[in-house]
Structure 1
């Protein structure tokens, strides 16, 4: 076996243009903290939960449980990214709007709605959502205008295909360079539409119109995306690139997911979109401590026992 000498890890705390993320009543210094975004899908055919949170009360219970487990942010979706019949605006609103309204009545947690429909975004922002999470990367320019008008934040993800449409055998000359160029251009478009730069988060789009090798490359070189200077979200939870790398079905991908998530944090990610919130929060807090961003919750091991007063 030949020796392989690797270089140091990339900078884990990227030079952010706006290091303090202000959403709702929160003001989080992303130089010190990694946020965990929980996933709640009101879809009957989610690749991971298989419809367990499709019912309204089930979705609300899942959202509240995520908050109790330490989620900083809850992402509510009603329409999958993958190829399929596109829902009407009315159908999507019927799925996501009651969850936004119900969760906002019960919690001050950050709420995002996973949508590419401008009307859905506008209605959900008016109902109390804080962020629009667009997996189509502002393909519809009216979406950026809706975010600007609603005073929200936006997550811009990289993808290639039109909504719910296939993109077989995606090819890139350099996937990281091309994803970075796309995200920079779309962030500029959002600013031109009236979204303040400090309200933009970038997502390189693991698995979205990408092969497993592409997603591994994005994970390995995530520092090049973080170097844009805007917060980066890593949506790696239980995805196919984890499953194909380890040859595991979705329900057995948690260890691989956590490894990918930690590597993304080391590359500069500051938001982790995750299904298993409790495990993700522990992984994030441990990574922060190793990086020197936070102190341990307690320190007893091999320390002198406290002596009582003489």
Structure 2
């Protein structure tokens, strides 16, 4: 059965460039106690970034890939800069788990093709497009006028017998697991990190009324819970499949799309700073990078 939540290509607006750094080795004359005067060339770990638009940072300056809407200030680029790693960034707006193993569109090959046995670090943010979250948000916005103080979107997607979004999340779980197994197969020596989604909606469930956030007041808490449910699924799949999970939700609480410009790390439906609607702006990507880097440092210390 066709997944009603998978957005169309035109609707998958959720989408820097690869900063390839050289690696080398120091050669010294054999059998001599005299230190070589040749300049040392630092080894650069190979880091591959996979995922969707929350990794690629669409419209955040500077955009370096027009097809995938990828920024050179996305969290993978910032992590690579911090660690001095050689980055191959194939994250792409609109990507789903299917695009890890198949071409997403003309000129955009399967993302897992960037991996090899020499890959040292892999980060991946995926799953939001599998459940069609951008389509859900569009539907919620359209329904707001029917009951602006109620829960028209929640009512649309749920009933006594089912919750369509929860069902879509459950259906996405084995797809994420399959991707993680494929990553380990292609990059058996890599540290694999699943990066969750930041806080999009007020964590206290209290909504905001604004032309730039056209959501019914009662739907904010439900949408918040659906995002937490998605992140919880990613956490479980990471643990079950030999990957670390990075929580970007908690560090971004209090900086959701309802906050004013300057405090807001997630843009509204009509962004006031360069970013895609309901996506991290430059500060949001920076906070995600910090969360990833902190997790990597903790992992190294506890090894």
For this structure pair, what is the TM-score category when the shorter chain's length is used for normalisation?
0.3 to 0.5
Highest CA radius of gyration, 1 or 2?
Answer: 2
Question: Which one has a larger percent strand, Structure 1 or Structure 2?
Answer: 1
- TM-score, length-normalised on structure 1? 0.37
Output the TM-score relative to the length of structure 2.
0.37
